[in-house]
Structure 1
Amino acid sequence: MIGYSLNNNDMKYTSKNDILLDASRVLMEEARAIQACAERLQQHTETRQGYEHAVELIFKSLEAGGKVVVTGVGKSGKIGEKIVATMLSTGTSATFLHPVEALHGDLGVIQVNDVVLALSFSGNTEELMALLPSIKHRQVPIIGLGGNEKSKLAKECQAWLDGHVDREAGTVPAPTSSTTLALALGDALALSLAKLRSFSTDGFALNHPGGSLGRRLLLKVSDTMITTSVAGSVSPQASLDLVIMEMTRHPKASGVVVIDNDDEDMTMIPTPPCSTTSEDDSTDGQVVGVITHGDIHRILKSSDKDGIFNIRAADIMTRNPITCQSNTLALDALQLMTNKSLREKSLPLLPVLTKSGRWQGVVTLKDLQEFF
């Protein structure tokens, strides 16, 4: 049982369930603040015009080679830093400027084509107000984001982003709903600009090369595949013992690829369209099948001892296997291998082909799962 009070007069928790209910109320209050703002954007002319004008000012600045300088103090400053991070990752040039540091030399970061986004819920923050005359002297437009449309900041800025909330969430008067709404408005602003400037997922990936997002959007099969020099292959007429030996020699490949070098018997295997890819390290002949460890186990269980010596690769291979190309996204290859709507079990490997259909190597499920 938990029994402590807030400020000795406030709500007292008597059980863990009370804590969970209180947490739910906080989340719901913050969600309502965002929903109310969204409704104002759709229904209130001044709120809508303020947002539209803010986007126009930033777009004009970026097109002229400028950037967004975000500024704020305390919790507003922390939210401002996050807004800068979101803008940078979505293609908008931005930087954070602390008002106090600005008054002591850092004001030089603001250049002629820039635009300033100033955050203050009250709209009357002293440090921020002290900075405004210097910004206006540079003839740089100011966008305000706050909760008081009658504040000094609202009167001094060229565009006002309506971040009003009726109350903060919870029983302690800490910035909660107001900062959550400011963060959400910053996200909306960044994404509006990204779409307006045709910022693509490729651009987003280029800004995230080191993380999982970058890997999902940039990593190609060529970056993860096992080349023909270290991947096993056999002909359709290879005996079972040769198939097993080839698998043992190349354990990383999770199986062997069956290559038919008889031009008269070759059946063209359709491959997905692709852009130009290197033909280096590729092997002549057509991929006609794959053999995995599971195929070997099944045939050994179902065959009599004498019949084993007559088994050939063509008897146990999976014919016309699903393939990919070296420039296929690794994530797309993984989805091909694990698509439950196409097959009951995941594919342990995919042969990798050049644009002309020549075998270049294999990509394995194990390797892709380690990346993602």
Structure 2
Amino acid sequence: IDGNDFSHGDSGGVTKKDVMMVYSSSGETNELKKVITYCSRMGIKLISICQKKNSTLSKASDVSVLIPISKEAGLSLLPTTSTTSFLAISDALAVALMNKKKFGLYEFKQRHQSGSIGKFLTYAEDLMIKEKNKLPLINENKKMPEAIKIMTKCKLGTLIALNSKQHLSGVLSDGDVRKHSKENLKNMRVKDLMNKNPVTVEKNTLVAKCLEILQTKKITKLIVGSKSKKNKIKVLGILSIHHILSTDTI
């Protein structure tokens, strides 16, 4: 907010929930007095970025950040060196706050979903199949004839096996079924054939990382899940390499 515009209505956008950061080299300009008065009256915390420790602004601030007094470049009349200092300290404060709040790429994506950055920040949860009626879920104790029917219906070539507590217990692929095709599958259960150590990723795993895992492990599906404190995995979805490659995200 420009200092001159503050007293012409822009102050209405500032509430007690906000923190006011004020930048001024001298800390003595006339428009600052109205800002200081407003913040004091409304109980708004005031942080100043200033060059002079004993200025009106610094003394009135809850927190005062001092920058070195330096000569302005060029004609020494217009703000140049000081504005560069303001920018540097602002960037430093922003990065420190991001680290403090653990604000990472995943949080950034929630606020920047378009453009090349939004495209790069595509996560597993953005592309995974997550609808309950489309997920190939099955209890690990179900017999194979029923498992084959569900696998055929879902058309993913993979079943996600769950235990009695609805946690992930394994994955059964059509390849696993073919390996045992000469055996008597009628009396066999899903848990007898499934892979009990499936590869999983968190929902906030970048799709580029998911693709790398798929190619390294030489598999075509990833289970997307969330781990509990006891390392039990709740299934959130399934991600296919074919789906990744068919979208414009890599």
Q: TM-score range by the shorter chain?
A: 0.5 to 0.7
Which of 183, 207, 215 is matched with 1:330 structurally? Answer: 207
Change (3 A) 1:363 1:221: farther
Distance in 2 (alpha carbons) for counterparts of 1:221 and 1:134: 45
2:199 matches 1:272: yes
Change (3 A) 1:216 1:134: same
Matched residue of 1:164: which SS? Answer: coil
Which of 109, 112, 116 is matched with 2:16 structurally? Answer: 112
Q: Which residue of structure 2 lines up, in the alignment, with residue 262 of structure 1?
A: 178
Whether contact under 8 Å (1:350, 1:364) holds in the other structure is no
Change (3 A) 1:195 1:222: closer
Distance in 1 (alpha carbons) for counterparts of 2:54 and 2:222: 66
Whether contact under 8 Å (2:50, 2:65) holds in the other structure is yes
Normalised to the residue count of structure 2, the TM-score between the two structures is 0.55
**Counterparts of residues 212-361 of structure 1 (less than 5 Å):** 212-220=116-124, 223=127, 259=175, 261-264=177-180, 268=195, 271-274=198-201, 329-336=206-213, 351-354=220-223, 361=240
- Contiguous gaps of at least 5 residues in structure 1: 1-96, 234-257, 276-325
2:40 matches 1:162: no
Choose 1 or 2 for highest CA Rg. 1
Q: How far off its partner does 1:125 sit?
A: 2.5
Change (3 A) 1:210 1:350: farther
Matched residue of 1:161: which SS? Answer: strand
Whether contact under 8 Å (1:221, 1:329) holds in the other structure is no
2:231 matches 1:362: no
Matched residue of 2:108: which SS? Answer: helix
Deviations 1:127-181 (A, max 9, x none): 2234322332223232111222232222222221112242345x45443332222
Report how many aligned residue pairs link the two structures: 189
Deviations 1:292-320 (A, max 9, x none): xxxxxxxxxxxxxxxxxxxxxxxxxxxxx
Q: How far off its partner does 1:332 sit?
A: 0.5
Matched residue of 1:124: which SS? Answer: coil
Distance in 2 (alpha carbons) for counterparts of 1:327 and 1:106: 38
2:131 matches 1:204: no
Q: Which has the higher helix share?
A: 1
Change (3 A) 1:146 1:215: same
Matched residue of 2:65: which SS? Answer: strand
The amino acid of 2:3's aligned partner reads P
The sequence identity of aligned pairs, in percent, is 23
Distance in 2 (alpha carbons) for counterparts of 1:149 and 1:327: 45
Q: Which residue of structure 1 lines up, in the alignment, with residue 95 of structure 2?
A: 191
Q: How far off its partner does 1:352 sit?
A: 2.0
Change (3 A) 1:141 1:335: same
Distance in 2 (alpha carbons) for counterparts of 1:159 and 1:360: 49
Deviations 1:79-121 (A, max 9, x none): xxxxxxxxxxxxxxxxxx3322221223222323433211112
Normalised to the residue count of structure 1, the TM-score between the two structures is 0.40
Whether contact under 8 Å (2:211, 2:241) holds in the other structure is no
C-alpha RMSD over aligned residues = 4.3
Q: Which residue of structure 1 lines up, in the alignment, with residue 50 of structure 2?
A: 146
Q: Which residue of structure 2 lines up, in the alignment, with residue 126 of structure 1?
A: 30
Change (3 A) 1:113 1:165: same
